[in-house]
Amino acid sequence: MLEEGKAKIVTDGVFYNPRMKFCRDVDVVVFSELKAKSYLDALAGSGVRGIRAMLEAGYDNVVFNDKNPKACEVIRKNLEMNGLKAEVLCRDAVALMRERKFDHIDLDPFGSPAEFIDAACFSAKRFLSVTATDTAALCGSATVSGLRKYSSFAIKTEFYHEIGLRNLIGKIAREATKYDKSLEVLISWAKEHYYRVYVRFKSSPRLAGKLYEKIGFLYYCKNCLNRTWRNFYEEPEAVCSCGKKFVELGPLWLGELHLKEFVSNLRGEKSVEKLLERIREEINSVSYYNIHAICFKLRVSPPPLSKIIEKLKEIGYEASKTRFEGANLKTNADVEELKNVILALQ
């Protein structure tokens, strides 16, 4: 017997990852705000996420699916143990999503979600939430794997978590536009070994076309750590101001990583609230700067992150910490201006 949130479950050998409890803690906070009319836990495993959605987020029309018959037995047992009733299916998730539509679909696979995203974008009427644990393919550590799964080119950079998150959202966005759907990102983050994204769809051929104003390429200079970006409708960049060639990364999502009005309404327990607060405070920019990487280039010691942010604001720039762990900041200052601030603080 395991307890998580208000749920009591048994696993009986079915996959259950206790390290993802934090993710599910955030889920119930987000789901409470979504108020979806129907919800498919497409790869349900033990059923803990869907059960918590019912017990803690007020979801009542929940469908659990897992192609493993043993998992379906466990889900039924767990539903009964929590005094709940719901539809439990033992189907291939892609086939199910091609046959039926749901207000909210959740993809939390063991591994890459890539093979499920197309069908989920077809089936989801309003909301889609996706977990990806194949971070190496998304962030540039496994470039060929990223090309195969997500049709996007990436290399390892010092802001790799943001590249990974934007690659995942970019894949969702491109698949959605095939079905005349636009999207907005409600909230997203990276933690430890996974990325998590929640999007809201809107059916409109016109808006689906305009979505490519927020999809494009990031141009990165390995020499001076400069970066810029262009959407599909803009002229590409080739050479950095330092004279070196840019590396073109993408296509990936260039838009917002969260919707301010949505996140402002969310409230959670202490650890969840800490993440939400970082997201609320983060300024909108396509990438972050890692202070240690810049200081290594400058051959100086890193000043306190708070001092750098304070100085940038003092001279008229926007600056903030990020939702990503580490000595990272976002700013509308370019890399040379940031370097000058760091040198002035030595």
What pLDDT was estimated at residue 192? 86
Q: Is 23 labelled a binding residue?
A: no
Return the amino acid letter for 258.
Answer: H
What pLDDT was estimated at residue 111? 87
Question: First-to-last CA distance in the chain?
Answer: 56
Q: Is 121 labelled a binding residue?
A: no
Return the amino acid letter for 301.
Answer: S
Nearest Cα to 45, choosing from 17, 19, 23? 17
Please state, in angstroms and as integers, the Cα–Cα distance from residue 287 to each residue in 41, 147, 162, 256, 328, following that order. Answer: 32, 21, 6, 11, 10
Cβ atoms of 49 and 20 within 8 Å: the answer is no
CA distance 91 to 69: 9
Q: Is 49 labelled a binding residue?
A: yes
Q: Is 90 labelled a binding residue?
A: no
Does domain 289-344 match CATH 3.30.56.70?
yes
What pLDDT was estimated at residue 298? 97
What pLDDT was estimated at residue 341? 98
What pLDDT was estimated at residue 166? 98
What pLDDT was estimated at residue 110? 87
SS3 per residue for the chain: CEEECCEEECCCCCCCCHHHHHHHHHHHHHHHHHCCCCEEECCCCCCHHHHHHHHHCCCCCEEEECCCHHHHHHHHHHHHHCCCCCEEECCCHHHHHHHCCEEEEEECCCCCCHHHHHHHHHHEEEEEEEEECCHHHHHCCCHHHHHHHHCCECCCCCCHHHHHHHHHHHHHHHHHHCCCEEEEEEEEEEECCEEEEEEEEEECHHHHHHHHHHEEEEEECCCCCCEEEEECCCCCCCECCCCCECEEEEEEECCCCCCHHHHHCCCCCHHHHHHHHHHHHCCCCCCCEEHHHHHHHHCCCCCCHHHHHHHHHHCCCCEEECCCCCCEEEECCCHHHHHHHHHHCC
Q: Is 221 labelled a binding residue?
A: yes
Burial of 27 (C-beta count, 10 Å sphere; 0-12/13-18/19+): buried
Domain residue limits, the chain: 2-214+253-281, 289-344
Q: Is 93 labelled a binding residue?
A: yes
pLDDT tens-digit profile of 15-61?
Answer: 999 999 999 999 999 999 999 999 999 999 999 999 999 999 999 99
Q: Is 295 labelled a binding residue?
A: no
Return the amino acid letter for 256.
Answer: E
Residue with tokens 């889609």: 128
CA distance 132 to 12: 25
Residue 235 neighbours by CB under 8 Å, 6+ apart: none
CA distance 173 to 81: 39
Burial of 69 (C-beta count, 10 Å sphere; 0-12/13-18/19+): exposed
Sign of CA dihedral 326, 330, 331, 337: positive
Q: Which value, to the nearest 10 degrees, does the dihedral of the CA atoms of residues 165, 168, 173, 174 take?
A: 140
Low-confidence ranges of the chain (pLDDT < 50): none
What six digits make up the tokens of 269? Answer: 């327990």
CA distance 225 to 206: 36
Decide which of 3.30.43.10, 3.40.50.150, 3.90.320.10, 2.30.40.10 is the CATH code for 2-214+253-281: 3.40.50.150
